[in-house]
Structure 1
Amino acid sequence: MLDEIGEMPLDMQTKLLRVVQEGVITRIGSSKSIPVDVRIIAVTNRDLKKEVEAGRFRKDLYYRLNVLPLFLPPLRERKKDIPLLIQYFVKNIGQKLNKKEPVISEEYLKKMINYNWPGNIRELENLVELIVNTGSIPSGYFTGENCDNEVLVDISDDCLKLDYMEKEHIIKVLKKFKGNITHSAEALGIRRNTLYSKIKKYNIQI
């Protein structure tokens, strides 16, 4: 499956087109063509027709991929799917990270169901991953705490990004342990050098 095919650079689109048309690939550093027999599922949240018209997506590749188009409604239009997706992500991410599955309260679950999810399933997955990783429920996610807007509606807002939530959580942990790196790293479940890297990345003042 090719996720976010609309984000693929034009030079990569040319290479993908060759694979689709000729059914062969060439490994890096090799000149030998290897035949492949695959079915391609391409996913995008962009209007590829408009991308073609704007010259950002190859027309020939578009028609090669657009054989059986499927349109999935946004998450805000299928609220009944949200609890099932949360359950799936909690279990799947918990197993992958070897973390205990967190308990999400009915009140917080109701907020998750009523939220519009401008970032769709990816935004939901990111939030669940944060909850599983930290073992805590981010209280300000739906209230607009520390954000300009009372309700978060724009996926480009910093407050919707996983990095933002991670930074805020690291700051809280560092405050709790009064800047002690060793104790903070242990509480976060990461190594000291990883915590140092994140402190540098987010420009956190200790």
Structure 2
Amino acid sequence: MTLQITFLTLGLGLVLALPISFGQVYGNKWIKALIAGYEKILRSIPELVILFLIFYGFPKIGIRFSPFAAVIIGLGFRSSAYQSQIFRGAINSVSSAQMRAARSLGMTNLKGFINIVLPQAIRIALPPWTNEFTIVLKDSSLAYALGVTELLRQGGYIIATKYEPMLIYLTVAVMYFIVTIAINKTLGSVEKRLAIPGFDVKETVR
């Protein structure tokens, strides 16, 4: 359940973050202002409050979500605000001359972004995106507050039967640690495979 929450949250955040980052870089002033407001709101409210607002607040207007869906929506939207900043920085790291070249070939901004800029931006964004993966994995424990049986709540159930709290919570901590290290190493290998040769080489002044 913890891994499901992590992957679905990141997936929702990524789907939202890519068009948001595109609007940040290539949108007009109204789009940029709207996106800036969206990000400030989601990055300023604690995640637990966002989950409570979705799970307990939306039924007041006739919209109900299951605890699992509320967790995915809440954490996913908040992650999109952070992921969009990651991709915005990566997009800005790609030379603007490449977009101008794409436009000179008859591409629209969107086509140039998808075919020319985005593939390079993804490579650049991978290291900070790995950090976001780790953050979302740990934040999945907040699902405990809505009754979702993820890793931490399962530990609580075991403690309620007969086992020592310290032993169980240490086990839970070790499991988080193992998964985090495994994911970081896997994404680190992907990062090396996708690295752009010579991108990070600095010119030496003699």
- TM-score for the superposition, normalised by structure 2: 0.27
- TM-score for the superposition, normalised by structure 1: 0.27
Mark the structure with the bigger radius of gyration: 1
